[in-house]
Structure 1
Amino acid sequence: MNEHLDILVERARRHDPDALAELCERLYPELYRYIAYRVGGKEDAEDLTSELFLRMVRSIKNLKGSIRGWIYRIAENLVTDYYRRRAVRRGVIGEIESPDTMPSPQADPSRGLLAGDLQRGMRTLTAEQYQVVTLKFLEGYSTEEIAAFLGKSTGAVKALQFRALQGLRGFFTEDDRHE
């Protein structure tokens, strides 16, 4: 599968329209989910995902390394810019609100009562920790794949995952003490 993706990327780098279309089609669902978890709103997620693929098409010829690592960096930059623009529009400089990380329990009752707690816990993570947790536990990628996507060693990814899970554990333990 990765070999086919590599071939597709090479064709896309030469601006083969069929390869670009297939690449967008293959990557859209996971990138839309990632952005939707980060921004919460369907329309905003659709807009940002569209912008992500426009940027990909414009600059894929300059790609060096992993397509997924590169495109997730673009996605993260778009999400960061999105929250900066929102903060400026609201007149809040310096403090950018954290995104909703999961759909609300009302939107998906199967998420249960913990969805709100998980959202609050995920907001405490750094951007890199958030990425690792999302890719590992929501998207199902292996540590090695995540390392390749993010251009990091597997040890660095494991450390980020460990710190993220420790942070979440601490968040939930602290939260339990306040009840």
Structure 2
Amino acid sequence: MFNIFQIIQEINPEYNHEALANICFEYYPKIYRYIYYRIQQKEEAEDITSEVFLRLVKSVDKIKGGFQGWLYKIAENLLVDYFRRRGVRVRVMETVEDLDAIPEEKSDTMELLKQDDLERDMKFLTTDQYKMIILKYVEGYSTKEIAEIMHKSVGAIKALQFRALETLRKFFTEDTND
């Protein structure tokens, strides 16, 4: 992460480095974890995360909508490129209807997330469900913030959460019954 400041200095010597430092200290660990959970490779995750912040500097004047959502969108696009280069087919994202109210089940879910088989079971989630679980239970974002990051309605995020938790419960129950 520290080399990124040198590279940015070379790209644009007039860039506000104090603002960049604040952004990096706030978002770099979150973006890194988001990427790492998707690819499970430390060096690759560091490289992709650095590229996210380089792209931030190169196109900061083109930000549309919320900054946080824009930053995660860069990360997501780089992840798609990463998987495409490796010949990994990224699952098609589901379309979900908005649901009026799905209860937040954070305490039960946190217990579920502590289980050893979670990583294996998470492979059964759709791409959007996986992203939502990481953003909510690893990064601690609210449903509203996740909706902004993923460019979906709050109802759609609640539907993703409900379906993801149901899928994880199903596989967790099967694992414990074996």
| Common fold by TM > 0.5 | yes
Mapping 1:108-127, distance limit 5 Å: 114-115=115-116, 117-127=117-127
Q: 2:47 matched to 1:47?
A: yes
8 Å contact from structure 1 (residues 135, 141) kept in 2: yes
Return the offset for 1:96.
Answer: 6.3
The one-character-per-residue Cα deviations of 1:13-60 (angstroms, maximum 9, x if unpaired) are x95333223212211011111111111111111111011111111112
Amino acid across the alignment from 1:114: Q
1:63 is aligned to 63
1:18 is aligned to 18
State the distance in 2 between where 1:17 and 1:54 align: 13
TM, length-normalised to structure 2: 0.71
Identity %: 54
2:96 is aligned to none
Return the offset for 1:63.
Answer: 0.8
Unmatched 5+ stretches in structure 2: 1-13, 92-113
Amino acid across the alignment from 2:163: R
2:131 is aligned to 131
1:8 is aligned to none
TM, length-normalised to structure 1: 0.71
Unmatched 5+ stretches in structure 1: 1-13, 88-93, 98-112
Mapping 1:1-179, distance limit 5 Å: 15-87=15-87, 95=89, 114-115=115-116, 117-177=117-177, 179=178
State the distance in 2 between where 1:64 and 1:81 align: 21
Equivalent residue of 2:84, what SS? helix
